[in-house]
Amino acid sequence: MNKLFNLDNPFWNSMDKVFDLFIANVLWLVCCLPLFTIGPSTAAFYYVLVNMARGEDGVISRDFFRSFRQNFRQGVGLGLLMTAVGIFLAVDIRLCYRSGTGIYTFFMVFFAVLFLLWASLALYSFPLLAKFEKKNSEILVWAFLLAMGHPVQTLLMLLVTAVGLWACHLLPGLILIVFGLAGRFHSVLLASILKPYLPDPDIDEELKPLSFITEQENEDKK
C-alpha cells in the first residue's frame, strides 16, 4: 500500500505527465478560440512540449503564456497564412471530389499532395517559431528542408495527427487530451531532429542556426 500511494511511484509519475499534457491541450484549445491566435497558441503549445521532451522542467501554464506573448505578433501572421492556405486546399479537394471523375480526379490528387506538403510545413513551422528567432519566410524554408530531410518522422507525425483527428470524430470528448498526446509524440521526434541546433539543456550555449541561414547572412553582409 505504501508503494501504491508513493508519489514517486511510476504510475503516479505517468499520471502527472498525462495531466501536464491535458493542461497544455486545454490551454492550446482555449487560446485558439479567437481563431486569429492559432499561430501563437500552437507555437506556445510546442514550446512547452518540446521542453518536456528535452527534460527541461518548468511550469506548464507559465511557459505556455510566456511563449504565447513572445511570439504573438509573428505567430498571428504565420497562423493566418497557414490557416488560409489550408482552408483553400481543403475546399479545392472537396470541390474536385464532388465534381466527378476525369480532369477533376487529377486536380483532386494534385491538391491532396499540396495539402500533405502544407500539413508537413505546419508540423515544423510552429515548433521552429517557438524555439528560434527568425523571420516567417526563413521559418517556412527551415520547415520545408526539415520535412523533406526527415521523411519517415514527417510521415509518422502526419499519421499520428490523422489518427488523433479520426478519434476526435468518433468521440468528440477526446479533443481535451488527444492533441496533447499527439503533440507529445511529435515533440519527441522534433526534439531529436532539432537537437543539433538547440543548446544542451544542461549547458549554457547559444542556439546554432541552420547552415543555409548562416551562409545567406554572410552573403548579405558582403
The secondary structure of 57-79, three-state, reads: CCCHHHHHHHHHHHCHHHHHHHH
Q: Is residue 48 within 8 Å of residue 183, measured between CB atoms?
A: no
Mean pLDDT of the chain: 86
**Cell (9 digits) for 84:** 488560409
Which of these ranges, 55-59, 171-175, 189-193, 198-202, has the smallest mean pLDDT?
A: 198-202
pLDDT classification of 17: cutoffs 50, 70, 90: confident
Looking at residue 126, what is its pLDDT? 96
Torsional sign, CA 151, 154, 156, 162: negative
Torsional sign, CA 192, 195, 196, 202: negative
For residues 205-222, average pLDDT: 47
Quick one: which of 120, 185, 188, 183 has its CA closest to 154? 120
Looking at residue 34, what is its pLDDT? 87
Angle at 86 between CA 128 and CA 35, to 5 degrees: 75
For residues 156-172, average pLDDT: 95
For residues 172-192, average pLDDT: 94
> What tens digit of pLDDT does each residue of 85-131 get?
999 999 999 999 888 778 888 999 999 999 999 999 999 999 999 99
**Cell (9 digits) for 21:** 499534457
Q: Is residue 39 within 8 Å of residue 76, measured between CB atoms?
A: yes
**Strand, helix or coil at 101?**
coil
49 pLDDT higher than 50: yes
Torsional sign, CA 31, 36, 170, 115: negative
Domain boundaries, the chain: 10-221
Q: Is residue 104 within 8 Å of residue 93, measured between CB atoms?
A: no
Q: Is residue 143 within 8 Å of residue 124, measured between CB atoms?
A: yes
Q: Is residue 145 within 8 Å of residue 59, measured between CB atoms?
A: no
Give the predicted TM-score (pTM) of the model: 0.83
d(CA 38, CA 16): 26
For residues 66-80, average pLDDT: 95
Q: Is residue 53 within 8 Å of residue 191, measured between CB atoms?
A: yes
9 pLDDT higher than 70: no
Percent of the chain topping pLDDT 70: 84
pLDDT classification of 214: cutoffs 50, 70, 90: very low
pLDDT classification of 55: cutoffs 50, 70, 90: confident
Rg (C-alpha) for the chain, rounded Å, is: 19
Q: Is residue 154 within 8 Å of residue 120, measured between CB atoms?
A: yes
Which of these ranges, 40-49, 91-100, 206-215, has the smallest mean pLDDT?
A: 206-215
Residue 210 DSSP symbol = P
Quick one: which of 81, 169, 62 has its CA closest to 126? 81
205 pLDDT higher than 90: no
